[in-house]
Amino acid sequence: MAFGRTSLGNHAGSGGRAVGGGGQRPMSDINVTPLVDVMLVLLVIFIITAPLMASSIKLDLPRSDAGQSSDTPRFVSVVVDAKGDVFFNDQPVGVEELSARLQQAATANRDTEVQLRADRSVSYGRVVELMGIANKAGLARIGFVTDAAAPGPVAPR
């Protein structure tokens, strides 16, 4: 079978069919729309199920003296009370001592998170100052700890 040029024309009464092999000319285009639709559906399913699969399996793993896993979340707590006193892991500290302890925590593990709790009466500047101390120590992960809001409308201040 040769793939040369052929003259296929429409003749009256042929109903739009090509004259020649008794059928339509083969279509050389691929319709990719169904493929794209299927791929997008699979992508959405993967995005939704991937986080669930990572934490859904509970194992009782054996103990080892080899060291801590790097996946273990580690954090330190920095608290500022209404008087402006600073606490590191529930122990009162000064600014210099806080800086030294945060540097020790950063040396032990760079992924250590600083959980910052501040009384609502503490000024924003004081909170930013403590964030700067943590950042200088090499700890970039800072989480703000708050109380859960009571259900219902929020009272104006």
Q: For all residues of the chain together, what is the average pLDDT?
A: 76
pTM score of the predicted model: 0.49
| Confidence tier at 44 by pLDDT (50, 70, 90) | very high
Scan for tokens 């691929």, then name that residue: 30
Torsion, Cα 40 43 44 48, to 10 degrees, reads 180
Domains of the chain, residue spans = 75-144
| Confidence tier at 71 by pLDDT (50, 70, 90) | low
User: Which residues, 6+ apart, have CB-to-CB distance to 85 below 8 Å?
Assistant: 92
CATH number of the domain at 75-144, please? Answer: 3.30.420.270
pLDDT of residue 55: 47
Highest mean pLDDT among 24-28, 36-40, 74-78, 140-144: 36-40
What distance in Å separates the CA atoms of residue 32 and residue 29, rounded to the nearest whole number? 9
